[in-house]
Chain A
Amino acid sequence: MTTNGANGDDWTPGVLDGVKVLDLTWFGAGPICTRTLAGMGADLVRVETAKRPDGLRVAPPRPVGAEGLNLSGYYNNFNSDKKSITIDLTTERGHELGIELVKWADIMMTNFTPRAIRQIGMSWETIQEANPGIIAVYQTMQGMTGLHSEFGGFGAVLSTVCGVNYLAGSEVNPPAGVGTNYPDYVVNPIHGVTAILAALFHQRRTGEGQMIDMSQLESSVAATAGPLFAFANGGGEHLRMGNHVPYAAPHSAYQVRDRGDRLDLWLAIGCVEDEQWRRLAAVCGHEEWADDVRFASVTDRKANEDALDALISAWAVEQDGDAALEALQAAGVPAGLVLNATEVLADEQLVAREYFRYLDHSEAGRRAYDGAGFKMSLTPCEPQRAAPLLGEHTFEIASEILGLSSDEIGGLMAEQVLF
């Protein structure tokens, strides 16, 4: 797959043009990782089954009253630029076809449990024998070895085990997490991209492939390890701080005036430098706050944070959020509104930078897709093509990559090896 535009005349090179990826992932962390590789130009073949489709294919959001496996925004957003083939890898013939795809691929990725990996016959020993130069990524919950390697889960379970739930929110509430399956969306998929590209860099220098044992637990703990590192090394407990942080104050969300029917509007402010705090006080019309001995240094402000927050809250609640934000930013104070998703989609900065991509899908219509998390000046990597229908490319892949005839494909479909 190249990063061709729809009409083919705005071709740009991709980092991974010509790189072939066999995608045996599902749900969030795996598909977002491989979607990023696809955006960089890789030829991405995703193997699915109709027997047990990706849970996101049956999850909301879908248009009201609509049925079917091709309509979920949750699935579609994470699977742009991919081709989908449906193979039952648990059958003998299906497994042979899977191994043919392993031979075809430069990179194989899966986020199944070790048990499921054994069931589909895709252990490192098996695939390395089929394709010695391959890079294989096993993005399991807790790694391929160890007492808990068979433990299952996804982002919501992982959030608790990796410590995010215990770190997030305030002490007065139960450790309910951050409202999403957070590690699935940035930490684990994009750590994965980094590792895969490093392995590819090495492979191109030496010809050596390798196995990447990526424990989502280890990846997630490593990315949220600040409080853990402090705790382990005598720096104290800095946990369950709500919107506060140990290193800065004022640092919180402050409710502002309702804007018409937009209730529950909050302004996030995080002053890291003393100068930012002095400017905030000036914008609030209370320069004297900055001279108050209780608020002189960050240590003072942390010691008197409740009083500090009370002053800012009382100011904020009288403010129009947009006007307050403009005034704070004009003064160089780090501030932002807590936007809802509708506002994010319409946000002038994101719109100006064309972050969201609107892609046409034959069943779901023209829909917004998240862009890439990084822009590249020579080799753009934004999504170009909407997600595949389940099995949309079965015939194409079976014939072009697996070299099967129409008759053979028909026979395998009748046997439900392909479907």
Chain B
Amino acid sequence: MAMALEGVRILDASGPIGHYAGRLLADLGADVIKVEPPNGDPARRWAPFLPEVEAPESALQFLLLNASKRGVTVDLTQPRGRELYLKLVKTADVVIDSLSPAEAARLQLTTNDLVAVKADLIHTSVTGWGLTGPRANWAYSDIVGCAMSGVMHLAGQSDGPPEQLPDMQGYHGASINAAAGTMGALVYHQATGQGQRVEVSMQEALSIAQETAMMQADILGTNRERGVPMRGLNMPGSGLHDAADGHVFLVASGLAGSGFVGLLGFMQETNDQQDLDQDPYDTFIHESMNTNFIMAMAADPEQAAPLMERLGHMDEVVRAFCRKHPKRYLYEEGQRRRILVGVVNTPQDILDSAQLKERDWFVDLDDPGRGVTLRYPGPQWQLQGTPATLRRPAPLLGEHNDELFAEVGVDVGELAELVSAGVVSS
């Protein structure tokens, strides 16, 4: 079947902050070429590692984020390396990199330098802070983006430290925006023949994930703090609950689905409702536990004060019910009754997910270069006309040097010379 980005070539010279962007576009059909220094991308040295595979081919994060790409090695700090890189740039529609303005100037690889060899190039820059502003050259790592975007301030317990988002969401948030912006530039290029620069700052990319905190600060002049529920009110049937074998998350206060009425019926099936099917609870649940009531309570917690004992008892009944039953029962049977229940899934639970299995989501791919078969997460979306596809394992270091350098006119003799000069890896 056709792929959406067939015929588009992308050079991905980015560091770890941009790896996921190239991966997304490669799965959509672009010919993405990972450009690494001769000693490999830094993430090739990042734990965790595949057992029984040697460095630098065993770093799992690198393997995940650079699958579907081909790979070459070039030392951009050497003049001959730069020259070779620019020959590749000439063949590309898009370059993704993560050079700070100072690095780009030093290496003579600014947007202007790239456009000088390929006038209609799309240059996508993914960095911690963007290419302008007083901090454009500041150092960053993933957690720094979580911190300076405001999202970390919201995560964690109120009596503990603020917490980062899991699994490099600073880098991935930047990369997802880089992929989207690059796609926009490709659509514009298709219509006009013009390239342009797309620029992502990790700090900016994550800011919108502050949820309501930014708007609250702007409108009310107050800050949301971690460990405090957004609505300022803990309603029964709402939030994280212990199950017999783990945790579930309920949104059964009446915002959507069958609400607390549905939850009451669910509890009655196993006779766990205690006295909630009697008044005053029964009437209260059927007449007052709805969106309008919750919003009124949230807007004016003092109004809720006289009801605290009643709400507290309802909360205890629901918690006792959840503690008695396995998490998967609460989740699947609750959802079938249109109660909004989530289950706190572990990685094993996700690998075992009946839904993901039925949709044939996980992909097993042979990696002959490493002598393994790995199980990969499936695509982010099913484009039914142009499916996204995992196309190949991540490149071995310099795996495609021969074929790609030959394509830009480097003969065998010259390549040997470049290897011995350390410009490319052997």
Contacts and interface: CB of A to CB of B under 8 A. Distances in A.
Interface in A178-197: 178-182, 185-187, 190-195, 197
B256 A160 contact: no
A273 B133 contact: no
Nearest to B383: A212
Given A210-B386, A270-B144, A371-B204, A377 B150 contact: no
Contact of B216 (A61, A179, A192, A211): A61
B249 A345 contact: no
B359 A341 contact: no
Contact of B190 (A201, A245, A374): A201
Contacts of B157: 169, 173, 176
A268 B180 contact: no
A194 B204 contact: no
A163 B208 contact: no
A148 interface: yes
Nearest to B51: A234
Q: Give the size category of B's interface with A.
A: 35 or more
Contacts of B340: 152-154, 157
A276 to B, nearest CB: 7
Given A73-B212, A176-B157, A339-B153, A373 B205 contact: yes
B347 A163 contact: yes
Contact of B218 (A248, A336, A368): A368
Contact of A143 (B176, B208, B351, B359): B359
Contact of A344 (B149, B251, B332): B149
Given A178-B155, A218-B380, A36 B251 contact: no
Nearest to A205: B190
A267 to B, nearest CB: 8
B358 A374 contact: no
Contacts of B343: 160-161
A121 interface: no
Contact of A228 (B141, B216, B377): B377
Given A191-B380, A230-B48, A374-B205, A272 B187 contact: no
B186 A197 contact: yes
Interface of B is mostly: mixed
A335 B140 CA distance: 6
A377 B147 CA distance: 27
A73 B216 contact: yes
B361 to A, nearest CB: 6
Contacts of A200: 187
Given A60-B212, A191-B380, A227 B141 contact: no
Interface stretch (B162-170, B277-285, B405-413, B417-425): B162-170
A205 B216 CA distance: 44
Interface stretch (B78-86, B195-203, B309-317, B318-326): B195-203
Contacts of B219: 61-63, 73, 364, 367
Interface string A106-138: 000000000000000000000000000000000
Given A148-B335, A157-B251, A376-B181, A335 B50 contact: no
A238 B167 CA distance: 10
Contacts of B49: 235
B271 interface: no
A198 B6 CA distance: 11
A182 B5 contact: no
Contacts of B156: 169, 179
A239 B162 contact: no
B196 A376 contact: yes
A332 B139 contact: yes
Interface in A208-258: 208-215, 217-219, 221-239, 242-243, 245-248, 251-253, 255
Instruction: Give 8 nearest A-B pairs by CB, closest first.
Output: A73-B215, A210-B385, A374-B181, A270-B141, A247-B46, A157-B342, A197-B183, A160-B342
B64 interface: yes
B231 A60 contact: yes
Contact of A145 (B129, B212, B359): B359
Nearest to A379: B188
Given A163-B347, A276-B139, A174 B247 contact: yes
